[in-house]
Amino acid sequence: MLFPMQPAMSKDVIERLSRYRSVLLRLKALGFVRVFSDNLADALGVSGSLVRKDLGQHGIHGVRRGGYTIEVLIERLTDVLGVSGLLQIVVVGCGHIGSALLRTYGARRHGISAVAGFDIDPQKLNAAAPVPVLDVHELAGFVAREVIDVAVICVPEEAAATVMELIRGSRIRGVLNFTTAHLRSDAQCLVQTLDIRMEIEKLFCLVKMASRR
């Protein structure tokens, strides 16, 4: 299920708020009760003033010398980000990456549940599996019945455009693109691309730049 996102938030702010929440969840699991803005700043490599600004813009304020109560801060960030409840996704393309996602999130980790996979290869289809893998042409009907809004695409680059057309014909409103294909967002569907090759290239470039200092 999708939740209304506050329109004033940029992608950078959304990413930072999500990362704050991730850090807080880890701290809570370790038994911590309170946290300071500088703790979150150190974890993300940003300034404490930026943390306070991000939180303050949403009416979240700590106590002087007392910081923030972790449980309350998690609840507030969950509301701001609209990620309360179980976040259900489907995975299109059940090769190595897609299958790994199904194994990881089929177990409902970190509040995310992969409820089904879709593929075109008959040898990969298994409707009786704990997380069923269905024919990709069943996608639209499945997400309509199960009220799924987000899909992850893990198909070969040459198949990405065709899969995207199937998705645009369904109720899916958000796509995480694991392919190297350039898929465009439109008024109906928001696309976020995670290009692993590009991220590796960026990392090598940053490492080289750091070594020259």
pLDDT tier, 1 (very low <50, low <70, confident <90, very high otherwise): very low
Amino acid at residue number 23: V
Say whether both 72 and 103 belong to one domain.
no
Say whether both 91 and 175 belong to one domain.
yes
pLDDT (tens digit per residue) in 51-79: 999 999 899 998 888 899 999 999 999 99
How confident is the model at residue 94, as a pLDDT? 96
How confident is the model at residue 199, as a pLDDT? 87
Q: Tell me whether residue 136 is in a domain.
A: yes
How confident is the model at residue 86, as a pLDDT? 84
Average pLDDT, the chain: 90
Say whether both 107 and 63 belong to one domain.
no
Say whether both 102 and 69 belong to one domain.
no
Count of domains forming the chain:
2
Q: Tell me whether residue 29 is in a domain.
A: yes
Say whether both 97 and 58 belong to one domain.
no
Amino acid at residue number 105: Y
Question: Around Cβ 190, how many Cβ atoms within 10 Å?
Answer: 14
CA distance 206 to 197: 14
Say whether both 16 and 58 belong to one domain.
yes
Helices (H), 45-195: 48-56, 70-81, 96-105, 139-146, 157-168
Query: Which among 61, 79, 97 is the end of a domain?
Result: 79
Q: Tell me whether residue 183 is in a domain.
A: yes
pTM of the model: 0.76
Structure tokens given for 163: 């899969």
pLDDT (tens digit per residue) in 13-50: 999 999 999 999 999 999 999 999 999 999 999 999 99
User: Distance between the two ends of the chain, CA-based, in angstroms?
Assistant: 47
Q: Which strands form 87-92's sheet, in the order they lie side by side?
A: 133-135, 112-119, 87-92, 150-153, 174-177, 190-193
| Between residues 52 and 1, the one the model is more confident about | 52
